[in-house]
Amino acid sequence: MTGDFTFSIIKPNAVRTGKAGPILSMINEGGFEISAMRMVRMTQQQAESFYVVHKGKPFFESLIEFMISGPVIVMLLKRENAVEEFRKLIGATDPSKAEQGTIRKTFAVSVQMNAVHGSDTVENAHREANFFFPEKDRF
């Protein structure tokens, strides 16, 4: 895939409570095209490796436990300036600080259970995409 893309996860709380559909609608309405998508239950090793930059932080272990607590939806999203635009669409990590109309403001239930993940840099989008999607599974 050559165009701008970002990597996203619909987190376990949102999948569990039936918010995947409404979240996908907001993603489409935000101008993103789905390039790859899959439902997966992450293993502890996968989750620890995915979030390795947070290893040692006070919330790390609890975050891993949460992220493996149920299935998630992983996806690649295409759009011009995808990484930055998607971070705007999801809003701040802490939903109490997220702007009205953002996905996290709408669907997060706490800082941890903030409904979605979005890559924070183009470099991380590549790293995270490679984590879940071989080139042949991208459209």
Active site residue 54: no
Amino acid found at 125 = A
Asked if 78 contacts 1 with a C-beta cutoff of 8 angstroms, the reply is yes
> Which parts of this chain interact with Mg ion (CB under 5 A)?
120
Q: Show the binding pattern over residues 2-41: x = contacts ligand UDP (CB under 6 A), - = does not.
A: ----------------------------------------
Residue 19's binding partner, choosing from Mg ion, ligand UDP, none, with beta-carbon cut-off 5 to 8 A by kind?
A: none
Q: What SS3 string covers 40-78?
A: ECCCHHHHHHHCHHHCCCCCHHHHHHHHCCCCEEEEEEE
Asked if 120 contacts 83 with a C-beta cutoff of 8 angstroms, the reply is yes
Amino acid found at 10 = I
Q: Show the binding pattern over residues 58-97: x = contacts ligand UDP (CB under 6 A), - = does not.
A: -x---x-----------------------------x----
Answer left, alpha or beta for residue 18, where phi above 0 means left and psi between -120 and 50 means alpha: left
* Nearest CB to ligand UDP, comparing residues 65 and 137: 65
Chain residues in the site for ligand UDP (CB under 6 A): 54, 59, 63, 93, 111-112, 114, 117, 120
As annotated, the active-site residues are 117
